[in-house]
Amino acid sequence: MARAFLLKLSRPLVLLSALIFVTTVFPQLDPDPNSPTPVLLSGKGGRAVANYGPSIPDPISNERIRTVFEPDSIVILYASNFDFLPGEGENSLRVYGIDRQGRQFRFPVLGLSPAKYSRDIFAVTIKLTDEIRYWPTPEKGDLEMYLTWRGLSSNRVLLGFGGTGGRQLEPTTGSHLTTQLSKTRSRNSIFDGRSAEYVGYRWSSDRMRFLQQATFGATPTLDEKIRRVGIRRWIATQFEAPFPSSANPYPNIPLKNSDAANATNGCGMFASGTPELRICIRDHYSMYPVQTWFFREAFYGEPQLRHRISWALSQIWVISGVDTQQSSHMLAYHKVLSDNAFGNYRQLMEALTLNPGMGNYLDMARSTRFSPNENYPREILQLFTIGLFMLNPDGTLQLDGVGNPIPTYDQEDVNNFTKVFTGWTFCNAAAAACPSALPGIVNYKDPMILNLNVTTVGNNRHDLTAKTLLNYPGSTTTNVAACTGTCDDNLTNIQNYANGSLDQTLDNIFFHPNTPPFVSKLLIQHLVTSDPTPAYVARVAAVFADNGLGVRGDMKSVIRAVLLDPEARGDVKTDPNFGKLREPVQLITNVLRAANVKSFNLAQNSDGSIQPLWGNLGQNPFNSPTVFNYYSADNVIPGTTLLGPEFALMTTGTSIARANFMNTLLFNPNSLNVAEDRPLGTKVELAEYIAAATADTSGNQLLELVNQRMMNNRMSAEMRSRVLTAVQAIASNNPTLRAQNAIYLTATSSQFQVQR
């Protein structure tokens, strides 16, 4: 009996021990990130199962397949193999057609509904009109149609557009209707705790994709860490990580005189042409210290997520070294971005509004009621918060009765906002509010303050008249009353009024219905994909509007929503239009981190001074050419209907420069050797790649390593074959050259240049 009792007791103990082991070794295992691949139904010959709309005929059958549809008509396609979230609808889908000339068109998706009497089949209603009207109209004949959902592309089917002929499907593309109706949905089961090796490598491609989105590039160490703790827990630890890294603190650079030649507080104490003068000007009157600090943190820093978000925010709330004279000014500005990257967007708005770098760049520091300036009022509305046109919650444009977008504000609104942002200036007073103030030097470190240093109340710089702000449903902040009576002879009352007006105005912008979708889409574009579906934008915007606890603008929740959304996650994205061109900074850091960046002698870390690498790529860090950033968020790739902001930097010249960058890095690193501006220099350490090339003279092991480190394990078979052929053309007794060429050919390929 005692033995039986022990057996009964041991079973739950064994189960408990197993549970403790699993939860300890794999503490927060991420669920399956992969969505099922959608399927478009087709009949014989791969022709789409389709009918005229808008009514949905049932049942679905081969007899209901129509061959030809007229331009601009409403058409119903049938699709399956979805796993929709609650509320996920037609704005999660995109439908494309390719005509006989190879031109791609995107057709508006008007509706999505379950097909009657057909399990797991959905009717997708579209209009055969180019959504963006880049081309006048598709060429008549068969269109090769496909549907995308969450970055995944369906099979291809044929649909007659005013006629037939002109396109043919690949033999494996079409599938008969009866076969597709019998298919079961492809799902991956969640890890059941059976094998450490299984969980370690499962979804490794998704981890590598995640690291491209949330950091400045994947490394084996970081991938191993996320493999053990999971993406969600890693994000949580990043939210709490101190920034910057302890080994790479912000440079403590004192403010200098605006005149670099000043002998006391400039660089004029050094003789002309001397190294001391050059270094003084470099360290104080250029972006050099900010750039080198930035790249060191990107290469080696532990708090990668905050650094990545701060860089994204710096391209939304732009100031530039083109006008921002000193490195200390830019560093103070970047601290505001990083301090608020995981805070609340409303607090970020206020901190950046009062930042002296922004005050100088967009002239708020010089805007008074006697000489009001429109620059900052215009840009906080147009670029930083709500945009030019009214948006739906999913980021799509609201249209008026004749199909035109509805402006969010007009000139009269700008005039009223301009009044609010008057009277603030640099914090140069010798007071507790201005701890960084120095005699005779403009203070670009402390927040701006109201200019109340006047002898009479009537000379104060803030506009005291009434202002009418944006009026939208639910707004309680539209009207700012004039300051009368108590403001006639009391500077304290004026100060309270001005600060209250500023708070009310920022609230008016923050609570505008455009702010959640506008900001959410920008963050998605910078981190994940240039042309997100409206459904993706809507899900993130909903979290921006309310994090589930009644808090609006919670950046931690918004960042989680961006990075964990099903449209972002998954081992592979087969939608050819998904992803984003790696902007130059990201391209540089991704390659260097994959190749173990070091100092030139490979004995220590790089100093982060890599100006020769970015010189001709079109993105000089912290030197944006305008307040509109290096590229417009609304840039459409010429010859397509695809939104691709970073492609504005892709010209004939910069495409060649990208190849030259890889060539310099791998084959001619002497230009990155130690110099006056590069005390340690920069070089990639390829020992692991060389070892793989040495161990396997066929080149396959080298290709597998390159594929894993740089291509998320998703290098196409065609690309792999071509790179392997090039590698095998090099003598096997030269593994270094083999490794260099494998990395060069991969890094210069379109498959790598686009982050997917």
Identify any residues that bridge with 127 across adjacent strands, giving them in sequence order.
74
Does residue 273 share a domain with residue 177? no
Task: Determine the structural domain holding residue 733 and report its residue range.
Answer: 580-755
Distance of CA 425 to the CA centre of its chain: 33
Q: Which amino acid is at 27?
A: P
Tell me the C-alpha distance between 723 and 721, whole Å: 6
Q: Would residue 746 count as lying in a domain?
A: yes
CATH of the domain at 93: 2.60.40.10
- Residue ranges of the alpha helices (H) in 215-326? 220-229, 231-240, 275-284, 288-300, 304-314
Q: What local confidence, expressed as pLDDT, does residue 615 receive?
A: 84
Does residue 372 share a domain with residue 272? yes
Does residue 121 share a domain with residue 264? no
Neighbouring C-beta atoms of residue 616, cutoff 10 Å: 15
Q: Would residue 58 count as lying in a domain?
A: yes
Q: Show Cβ contacts of residue 191 under 8 Å, excluding neighbours closer than 6 positions.
A: 26, 29, 198, 199, 202
- Residue ranges of the alpha helices (H) in 405-531? 411-420, 491-510, 515-527
CA trace torsion 696, 701, 705, 706 (10° rounding): 90
Does residue 587 share a domain with residue 699? yes
Q: What local confidence, expressed as pLDDT, does residue 27 receive?
A: 44
Q: Would residue 2 count as lying in a domain?
A: no
Q: What local confidence, expressed as pLDDT, does residue 641 receive?
A: 77
Residue in the block written with tokens 């900001």 = 519
Tell me the C-alpha distance between 65 and 75, whole Å: 11
Report which of 523, 505, 434, 437 is spatially closest to residue 467, judged by C-alpha positions: 505
Q: Show Cβ contacts of residue 96 under 8 Å, excluding neighbours closer than 6 positions.
A: 104, 105, 106, 107, 145, 146, 147, 148, 577
Mean model confidence pLDDT for the chain: 90
Q: What 3-state class would DSSP assign to 179?
A: helix
282, burial (CB in 10 Å: exposed 0-12, middle 13-18, buried 19+): middle
What string of DSSP letters covers 458-477? GG-SS--S-EE----TT-S-
Q: Would residue 15 count as lying in a domain?
A: no
Which long-range contacts (C-beta less than 8 Å, at least 24 apart) are formed by 207-213? Answer: 207/231, 208/708, 208/712, 208/713, 209/569, 209/570, 209/571, 209/573, 209/712, 209/756, 210/563, 210/568, 210/569, 212/590, 212/712, 212/755, 213/527, 213/528, 213/563, 213/568, 213/755
CA atoms within 13 A on the CB side of 204: 19
Does residue 603 share a domain with residue 506? no
The H-or-E segment that residue 684 falls in is strand 683-684
Does residue 249 share a domain with residue 138? no
Does residue 746 share a domain with residue 670? yes
Predicted TM-score (pTM) of this structure: 0.92
The list of the chain residues with pLDDT below 70 reads 1-29, 58-64, 132-135, 171-201, 453-459, 488
Q: What local confidence, expressed as pLDDT, does residue 340 receive?
A: 98
Q: What local confidence, expressed as pLDDT, does residue 4 receive?
A: 42
Number of H helices and E strands in the chain, helices first, is 26, 19
Structural domain total, the chain: 3
Q: What local confidence, expressed as pLDDT, does residue 587 receive?
A: 97
Q: Would residue 291 count as lying in a domain?
A: yes
Q: What local confidence, expressed as pLDDT, does residue 361 receive?
A: 98
Q: Would residue 193 count as lying in a domain?
A: no
Strands 50-52 and 152-153, bridge-based pairing? unpaired
Does residue 278 share a domain with residue 151? no
Strands 121-127 and 109-114, bridge-based pairing? antiparallel
Q: What local confidence, expressed as pLDDT, does residue 197 receive?
A: 33
Does residue 255 share a domain with residue 160? no
Residue in the block written with tokens 């989680």 = 560
Q: Which amino acid is at 270?
A: F
Classify the C-alpha dihedral 268-274-276-279 as positive or negative: positive
Q: Show Cβ contacts of residue 567 under 8 Å, excluding neighbours closer than 6 positions.
A: 92, 150, 151, 528, 529, 532, 533, 535, 536
Does residue 257 share a domain with residue 159? no
Interior angle at CA 453, CA 450 and CA 459, nearest 5: 90
Q: What local confidence, expressed as pLDDT, does residue 119 receive?
A: 73
Does residue 370 share a domain with residue 462? yes
End of a domain among 488, 510, 532?
510
Q: Would residue 176 count as lying in a domain?
A: yes
Does residue 477 share a domain with residue 330? yes
Query: Do the Cβ atoms of 152 and 12 come closer than 8 Å?
Result: no
Tell me the C-alpha distance between 293 and 730, whole Å: 39
State in Å, rounded, how far the first CA of the chain is from the last one.
62
Identify any residues that bridge with 389 across adjacent strands, giving them in sequence order.
407
Query: Do the Cβ atoms of 444 and 477 come closer than 8 Å?
Result: no
Tell me the C-alpha distance between 542 and 561, whole Å: 9
DSSP 8-state assignment for residue 142? E
End of a domain among 181, 214, 231?
181
Q: Would residue 142 count as lying in a domain?
A: yes
Q: What local confidence, expressed as pLDDT, does residue 5 receive?
A: 34
The H-or-E segment that residue 745 falls in is helix 735-747
End of a domain among 181, 204, 224?
181
